[in-house]
Each structure stands twice: as structure tokens, then as C-alpha cells.
Structure 1
Amino acid sequence: MRKKVIFISAGPGDPELITIKAVNHLKKSEVILVDRLVSPEIIKKYSHSGNKVIFVGKHNISKQSFNQCEINKLLVKYALKGKYVIRLKGGDCSIFSNIMDELMELKKHNISYEIIPGITSAIGASSYSGIPLTARGYASSVRFITLHNLNSINSSQWIDFIKTEDTLVFYMCVKQLYNIFDKLIERKKYFINIDQKLIAIIEQATTPMQKVYIINLSNYRKISLKFLSPSIVIMGKIVSLHYYFKWFNENKNRNNYFEHKN
């Protein structure tokens, strides 16, 4: 009997940014456990009507919210029944997801698995906003950082964030955004030209609802907008290239693209 789970990276939003390998697995699936930040079009286009789709987003629009323990149990339950189980995650499975918790649970029950990589949100957001993450004369390296818990960042790290010439990409920080900017401004003495510290906030990157906001760290308080989730933040000199290389036409509406209904 088959006892296996396929972890599929759905990409940042655009349903066409999924791999052929992932699509081939979806076509054969029997049970799909879907994260909140997965395009609804992926299920419609690449799955089939005979499978069981379970939306397990931790902040699901449908008012049902799953914790990690419940998700782990569902994976084990259907895998042990011999079902063709897909775990469909937004972005790339291996970047800022709870894949380790789920893999540990599967190993505990001797269930095999496969991990299919995909386009992470940072890559999608940078490409669709015309902001290359590295470029000669702008930045030679990039860092991916999760800032949903500001208590995990010490003072020396905040100083490093404001001083570095690296491109910084902040994940999962929309609720803390203005607090993050405050923390950086508190260390502005460590960066002489604070007026040149540019930030891009990209809402719902790669989707029809994508919007890009370019701000200067020194006057960020002029924007009082409540940014939609998911939003990704890119900070650095590289952000200035958006004005030259932007190509994606933005929609005037600010609706929630990632709305799943059970």
C-alpha cells in the first residue's frame, strides 16, 4: 500500500508559476491539503473533481482555522489509508514554512515523502515589480528575513539591517510593518544618507491584485495605509530600479485574491 505525501510548492500567487512536475502530481491526487496563500486557480486548473480538497490555512477566510497539530494528523490519516496525498504550500515549501514539523510527523509514522521546489515569494515579488534582488553597483547579496516576531531581533541586528548594503527581504511582517520602520529609524545614526534608504512594499505579489508602494524610510509616516496580507518588503538601493524596470500592470482594486471557500 502506498504511504507517501507529496509536498508541492505552489509559488507566490500566479497559478502559471507552478512547475510541470507539481501539476503532474496534482492531476493524480486523491487528497489535497491546501494552505491559505495558494491561488484558488491552481486547484481549478490542475486538480480534478474526484479528489478531496481540505483548506488548512491557519487564518482561513472561511472562518475555519487549523493549527499545526491538526494538519499533521490529517497528513498521517490519509497517508496511512494509502491515499495519493498532496500538501500544497504557498511560495516555496522550504522557505519560512512549517515543513519541518510535518516532515518530523511523517518520519515518526514511517511515511515517505517527496518535496517539489517552487518560486518563493521574494523571487516572485522582485520579478513582478521590476526590482532585481542583486545587480552590479547596487547589491551583491540578498537576505531573506522573517520578522513576524520582533522580540527575536536584538539591537545589533537592527543596526546591521540599517547599515548593510545587502538587499533585505522581509517576510510575514505586514502586521508589524510600522514597528519595524520605527526600529530602523531609531538606528538612523548608523546610516549617513537615511533619505536614500528605499523600501518597496509589494501586496499580493504576482496576482492580478498586486500593488507596489515605494517609500523612503525617512518619511514612511506619510503613508498610513493598512497593507494587505500577504505583503513582502524589499529594502535597499536596488529598490530604485523599480522606476526603470516595472512592467506589470496593476489593478486599481484592493480585493483579497487568496480567498478560498470550502
Structure 2
Amino acid sequence: MSYQPTKGKVILAAAGPGDPELVTLKTVRFLQQADVVLADRLVSEDIIKAHVKPGAEVIYVGKQCRRGISTPQLTINELLVHHAGRNQLVVRLKGGDTGIFSNILDELETLVAYQIPYEIVPGVTAALGASAYAGIPLTARGYATSVRFLTYYKSDVVTDKEWKELAETNDTLVWYMSSETLDTVVEKLTQHQISADKLLAVAEQATTPLQNIHTCSLYDYERQLKGMVFLSPSLVIIGKVVALHEQFAWIANSYSKEHYFKPLTGRVSTIHDGAAKDNKHVNRA
């Protein structure tokens, strides 16, 4: 593609972890002004319906690995450049926070390369939303000295030396995008003799009406949770602080297996009130 510098602008904005009321006022303001919204799969449709202005174009550019459905990052980059090149205000709406495991670097590099003005709007990331709605203070005094945000999506991401250090640390460990590899995470930590008072919590669809929190000892995991298929998004918290969930949980589990965030196969790019329908880049997954 060859584009000239533009007067359009891209807003890299956070949608929060699920609860529509956890969206920042700044993100809401930009959604009310946007010509185009490029939304992740883990963006609440309630947010879209409530805040995107009539006449704006909404394009779902999500990734759903379990079903083999994914919008390539190159396509997302092309959409940003294409719409900014038409002098439009584009909101790239990301689930959680804009900077935590979000591919924001690829998009920033594209915007800089094409001299497209941009802003970054932070938000409530999944770790903070899930832990708060589960009643688990991540750095509670006497339980943890700090917290780490991690991911384990393939075998070479964490070395054996690092597994040993993770098992021994007093930090709270928060694992993104790791519910499908949880068997291995638990196996590695228990192999390295992680302390028995460090518990496991899996937060399914946290901060939504369909929230479920599952807790157990890592050494009881095989009997209690192994083999369970957790609904997306699911966040894993490991540490002594998980023990506080039983005392301070303020939301009851829903025990529902409904999807708060619709699978991509059930979504069609939404075009409001006669917005342009000739965009060849629109993801129809």
C-alpha cells in the first residue's frame, strides 16, 4: 500500500474487562465522536450499542484461536491506514487495557510509519477487573509483595529455570490467555514444589453478569479442575492472595455456560444508518 500523510486520527482505546461501566469517560467520548470503530472480540456489545454514534461503522477485527477464526494483524493495520487515509476518526477498541498483551506495538509502528496522528487511552485491564470482582486484592499486605502479569501460550515461553523461580517467588502470578494451557502451568509449578498455601483461581468472564470463579489448591487441581473447559475470557491467578476470595467475594457465581462475548461466528460487522458499505476490508467472520 502507498498512502500519503493524512489528517485522520486513530485512537487506541481500552474497553475494559467486560462490565460496560468500567469503560473510561475518555474512551466513551471518543466512541461518541468516531467515524469508524475497529473492535476486538472481547469488547462488550453493550458498549457498542450504548456509546457508538449513529452513522459510525463498526468492524469486528477479533481473534478466536479455539475456533481457528482470526483477523490477521496485517489486515487490522491496513484498516487503520485505510480509514485514517479518508480523514476519519478511527477508534481501535481493545478489550481490557490497551497495553497489556494487546499487539499494540504492531499498530503503533504502522501509525508512525504512515505519519498518522494517534492517542492511547488506557483502561482497566483484565487482571485488575477480575481480581476486584473476585474479592482478591492482588498485593494484600502479608500475602504478596508484588504481582506479575504473565502468559503461557506455547512451550518455549517459560524456561525450566524460570518455572523454578516462579514457584519460589512470593509474588502473585496472573496468567493471561493461559486457561487452555493450565494443565502444564500447574504441572510445572507443582514439579518445582510450589508452596501449598499458594492457591489457584480461574476467573471466567469476569466482571460480567456471567462471572464464575473457580478456586482450588494447585495440588488438588487434577481432582477438582483438570479437564474443565473454561469460557473465554478466562484469567488465572495463583498465589496466597487467592485464599481471600472466600472471605471477600461480593458477587455470587452465575453457574452459567452462556457467552457474554458472542463468538465471532455470531457477529457481523455492524454498519449504522447508511454508513459506507463498500469497504473491502470489513471482516465478515
Instruction: Give TM-score, length-normalised by structure 1.
Output: 0.94
Which of 157, 161, 165 aligns to 1:156? It is 161
Contact kept, 8 Å, 1:36 with 1:55, in 2: the verdict is yes
Range moving further from structure 2, 229-238 or 179-188: 179-188
Give the deviation of 1:63 after TM superposition.
8.3
- List runs of 5+ in structure 1 lacking aligned partners: none
Contact kept, 8 Å, 1:134 with 1:238, in 2: the verdict is yes
Which of 225, 230, 233 aligns to 2:233? It is 230
Range moving further from structure 2, 61-70 or 177-186: 61-70
Partner of 2:209: 208
Partner of 1:219: 220
How far apart are the structure 2 equivalents of 1:195 and 1:138?
A: 13
The answer to whether the aligner puts 1:70 opposite 2:75 as a matched pair is yes
Give the deviation of 1:61 after TM superposition.
10
Contact kept, 8 Å, 2:7 with 2:116, in 1: the verdict is no
Secondary structure in structure 2 of the residue aligned to 1:202? strand
Amino acid at match of 1:47: V
How far apart are the structure 2 equivalents of 1:60 and 1:180?
A: 19
CA offsets 1:68-94 (integer angstroms, 9 cap, x no match)? 000000000000100111100000001
Amino acid at match of 1:126: S
Instruction: Give TM-score, length-normalised by structure 2.
Output: 0.87
How far apart are the structure 1 equivalents of 2:18 and 2:184?
A: 27
Q: 1:179 to 1:67 in 2, by over 3 A?
A: same
CA offsets 1:137-179 (integer angstroms, 9 cap, x no match)? 1112111111112312111110011111111101110111111
Give the deviation of 1:4 after TM superposition.
1.0
Give the deviation of 1:183 after TM superposition.
1.3
How far apart are the structure 1 equivalents of 2:171 and 2:34?
A: 41
The answer to whether the aligner puts 1:195 opposite 2:196 as a matched pair is yes
Contact kept, 8 Å, 1:36 with 1:60, in 2: the verdict is no
How far apart are the structure 2 equivalents of 1:177 and 1:150?
A: 12
Q: 1:61 to 1:38 in 2, by over 3 A?
A: farther
Q: 1:163 to 1:63 in 2, by over 3 A?
A: closer
Map 1:82-97 to 2 at 5 A.
82-97=87-102
The answer to whether the aligner puts 1:168 opposite 2:173 as a matched pair is yes
Give the deviation of 1:62 after TM superposition.
10
Which of 141, 145, 149 aligns to 1:144? It is 149
How far apart are the structure 1 equivalents of 2:28 and 2:240?
A: 37
| Aligned residues between the structures | 258
